[in-house]
Amino acid sequence: MLGRKNLRYMMLVQPHLSGSEHGCAFCSFVFARTGYNKTLLRDRMDYVIRQLTTQDEPILWEMLYYGLSSAEKKEPPSRDVVRRPEIARYVEGWGRGGDTGFVAHDKKNRALLGAAWLRRPTDKSDASPELALAVKPEHRRHGVGTALLTQLVRANPDHSTISVSFVAGKPVLRLYERFGFKVVEQRPDAVVMHRPA
């Protein structure tokens, strides 16, 4: 029998990856088993995920800003913060070799919800790719980040070692650990995580 966590994963993540719709009978079963509000869950699932292209740098600048925003902070940071060199390097010149990622859009109005992407540092050819994951504050805790990270991991099975920066605040390591990543190195500004092949 599927547990509650497995049911929640199937409903919030799998439809976005396959593009398929689930049946009403299955919906009713899940709502009855988990107690989720039907309208709320439908709203949560009403988005699409697509691969980032070389034309999407403006999208990533916006998502980088939201990655720096915290729901706990009363005042949002200045928009200029993303132009600092240590932060801008995650987006500037997007489209070079090795850049890859996905973006989530609202299915109806195409509004941006979140993005996840990988790129290698330009100053270290043998460095692990750095992962950035950002979801707009109002869409967090709705499964968007999990769906994006799922798609990114599936599309890049060879990237078993990644670097997760603390530039945008301490990441929610539990999310990455759900995908099999374990912390193998602690740095002042980042952690290096590895996922066994």
Q: Per residue in 94-139, pLDDT tens?
A: 999 989 999 999 999 999 999 999 998 877 767 788 888 999 988 8
* Residue 58 sits in the same domain as residue 19: no
> Amino acid letter at 152?
L
* Residue 150 sits in the same domain as residue 61: yes
Most confident of the ranges 1-15, 78-92, 93-107, 145-159: 93-107
* Residue 4 sits in the same domain as residue 72: no
* Residue 77 sits in the same domain as residue 123: yes
- The confidence score (pLDDT) of residue 72 equals 53
Kindly tell me the sign of the dihedral angle through the C-alpha atoms of 163, 169, 174, 175. Answer: negative
Looking at 156, 176, 191, the residue that finishes a domain is: 156
* Residue 112 sits in the same domain as residue 146: yes
* Residue 178, pLDDT above cutoff 60: yes
* Residue 190, pLDDT above cutoff 60: yes
The 8-class DSSP code of residue 169 comes to S
Lowest mean pLDDT among 4-8, 45-49, 112-116, 171-175: 4-8
- The confidence score (pLDDT) of residue 26 equals 33
- The domain that holds 138 is classified in CATH as 3.40.630.30
* Residue 84 sits in the same domain as residue 97: yes
Structural domain containing residue 151: 46-156
Interval 14-35: pLDDT, tens: 333 333 333 333 333 333 333 4
CA distances from 118 to 28, 142, 149 (A): 37, 22, 11
* Residue 182, pLDDT above cutoff 80: yes
* Residue 63 sits in the same domain as residue 146: yes
- The confidence score (pLDDT) of residue 166 equals 56
* Residue 90 sits in the same domain as residue 104: yes
* Residue 52 sits in the same domain as residue 93: yes
Pairing assessment for the beta strands 47-51 and 112-119 based on DSSP bridges: unpaired
- The confidence score (pLDDT) of residue 29 equals 33
- The confidence score (pLDDT) of residue 50 equals 97
The answer to the question of residue 113 being in a domain is yes
Number of domains in the chain: 2
**Other CB atoms within 10 A of residue 34 CB:** 13
Residue 28 in tokens: 């009713």
Could you tell me which residue, 150 or 165, shows the higher pLDDT?
A: 150
The answer to the question of residue 102 being in a domain is yes
- The confidence score (pLDDT) of residue 45 equals 54
Pairing assessment for the beta strands 161-165 and 130-135 based on DSSP bridges: parallel
- Angle between helices 4-12 and 144-155 in degrees, nearest 10: 80
